[in-house]
Structure 1
Amino acid sequence: MPNVGIISQARMTSTRLPGKVLRAVAGRPLLDYHVQRLRQTGLALHLAITDQPADDPLADYATHHALPCTRGPEDDVLARYQQCAAAHHLDVIVRVTSDCPLLDGALVAEAVQQYVAARNPRLYLSNVLERTFPRGFDFEVFSRELLEEAHRHATAASDREHVTPYIHQNRSGRVELAHIRRTPDRSNYRLTVDTIEDFELIRQLVEDFRADTLTGDELIALLDVHPDLLTLNAHIEQKKL
């Protein structure tokens, strides 16, 4: 079996909602829910944060929760991933972001099983290129080989900040893309946290509906019958790459 690890990127200096991942919901930081749900995969979970003093609280959080933590350049997130994967000898990387507190661990685990069964180091598997899941359920799975290749050759600032464009845009011409999809399409649901409106939706879902205990399908079903909740952040536009 390859050594598979989840790497979650985090920082305290978000432009639209600084410190968002440590904001409290039901007496716990948002990051708690993210970590709890991903640990349900049974896979090793790593935190990739910046080397800036502003992220010292995240380093303290990682220490307190026995969460392996790698620190690296603020804007070169690709380098952070490469450093983390190399330090922990990962063969396969699952990329997630810490502003997704309700990411479905079971969904990630199923995708990893599919990826490993393919036995193809040139494969990139995700649910983000062809969106059918709510934003906030995002994950990408790729090999250390592809990560190292991107780290060596990607030069554009946007490629290095967003980690995977060099891979999924197939700049090498030798990447195979695969997609995880769901029916019916619920890509219009927004469960990531980038603004105060996003945070308010997550707060209500956790405090009023115990959303952190629900599976991904149960959470989507909850939103299907409570469309009023979706109006809280329906107007928020995702930042472009």
Structure 2
Amino acid sequence: MKIIATIEARMTSSRLPGKVLLPAQGRPMLARMVERLKMVPSLDGIVVATTVNATDDPIEALAAELGIGCWRGSEDDVLKRVLDAAHAFEADVIVELTGDCPLIDPAIVETCVQAYRAAGVDYLSNVQERSFPIGMDTQVFATAILDDVARRTDDPTDHEHVSLYIYRHPELYSLKNVAAPPELRDPELRLTLDTPQDYQLIDQVFAALLPQGPGFALGDILALLQARPELRKINDHVAHRWV
């Protein structure tokens, strides 16, 4: 079973263009995310799924520099982009992530992968019932399941949001949600990268916690925000764009 993390990333974000390459203490946000994902024991590889647009050439260049895979496809048909990436890199299982999550905790990703393998379900995530902070979003499913979705639907909305069709059709697919333990429960907290305020907070988190090592955990982030409540206020007014 080959398990590949796919990271959807592009430069043309509407609220914060170029966000995945913004600097985080001297390195691009996407590089920081990859650095953390390389600490997930169950992953056999990491692939950035970006677009064929010339504006995304720097993302492909960074992927090469980081020694990870890159697949380029449609900007709008993200489902096909991720599915083609999975086939190109011979993934049996996709761990679907987005470049919005540079602070993602490697231990949470590993927990989701292990839970998926133990449960024997079609789809597992920690977002069906939100309990983790926004920005820890992890979804796990077989490439064969996404193949099935691609055969069943041509709806542009389903193809823009890769796993939407899966969790909206529990009559077709078996689903499981991973809940945060009480000490990590904070579903309103934005640790996602989508606005200038988000960027300011995330950069401050990296500045504070990188000295202890790049693999700091969500618990470390929450402890930092409890000790320095002014940081949380940086983006607590930002409205999240839900699917």
1:7-59 CA distances to partner (integer Å, 9 max, x unpaired)? 11000000111001101121111111100111101311111000111100001
Report what 2:227 is aligned to: 225
Report what 2:208 is aligned to: 208
CA deviation after TM superposition for structure 1 residue 213, in Å: 4.1
Report what 1:46 is aligned to: 47
Report what 1:4 is aligned to: 3
Tell me which amino acid in the other structure corresponds to 1:159.
Answer: D
Question: 3-state SS of the aligned residue for 2:96?
Answer: strand
Question: 3-state SS of the aligned residue for 1:200?
Answer: helix
Contact 2:112 2:126 in 1 (8 A): no
Say what the alpha-carbon RMSD is for the aligned residues. 1.5
Report what 2:17 is aligned to: 18
Please tell me whether residue 79 in structure 1 is matched to residue 77 in structure 2. Answer: no
Provide the rounded CA distance (Å) in 2 between the counterparts of 1:41 and 1:208.
Answer: 22
Tell me which amino acid in the other structure corresponds to 1:219.
Answer: I
Please tell me whether residue 94 in structure 1 is matched to residue 92 in structure 2. Answer: no
Report what 1:137 is aligned to: 136
Provide the rounded CA distance (Å) in 2 between the counterparts of 1:119 and 1:178.
Answer: 9
Provide the rounded CA distance (Å) in 1 between the counterparts of 2:221 and 2:147.
Answer: 36
Aligned mate of 2:175, from 177, 180, 188: 177
Tell me which amino acid in the other structure corresponds to 2:36.
Answer: R
Counting aligned pairs with the same residue, the percent is: 39
Gaps of 5+ in 1: none
Report what 2:28 is aligned to: 29
Report what 2:188 is aligned to: 188
Q: How many residues align?
A: 237
1:99-140 CA distances to partner (integer Å, 9 max, x unpaired)? 2111011111121112112334xx211111111111011010
Provide the rounded CA distance (Å) in 2 between the counterparts of 1:134 and 1:240.
Answer: 14
Contact 2:24 2:32 in 1 (8 A): no
Tell me which amino acid in the other structure corresponds to 1:97.
Answer: T
Provide the rounded CA distance (Å) in 2 between the counterparts of 1:25 and 1:7.
Answer: 21
CA deviation after TM superposition for structure 1 residue 176, in Å: 1.2
1:38-93 CA distances to partner (integer Å, 9 max, x unpaired)? 11013111110001111000011111111110100000000001101111221111
CA deviation after TM superposition for structure 1 residue 207, in Å: 1.4
Provide the rounded CA distance (Å) in 2 between the counterparts of 1:106 and 1:209.
Answer: 16
Report what 1:66 is aligned to: 67
CA deviation after TM superposition for structure 1 residue 196, in Å: 0.3
Q: Which runs of 4+ in 1 moved over 6 A?
A: none
CA deviation after TM superposition for structure 1 residue 154, in Å: 2.1
State which drifts further: 59-68 or 212-221.
212-221
Tell me which amino acid in the other structure corresponds to 1:48.
Answer: A
Report what 2:162 is aligned to: 163
The normalised TM-score by structure 2 is 0.93
Question: 3-state SS of the aligned residue for 1:7?
Answer: strand
CA deviation after TM superposition for structure 1 residue 221, in Å: 2.3
Report what 1:116 is aligned to: 117
Provide the rounded CA distance (Å) in 2 between the counterparts of 1:40 and 1:151.
Answer: 31
Provide the rounded CA distance (Å) in 2 between the counterparts of 1:190 and 1:145.
Answer: 32
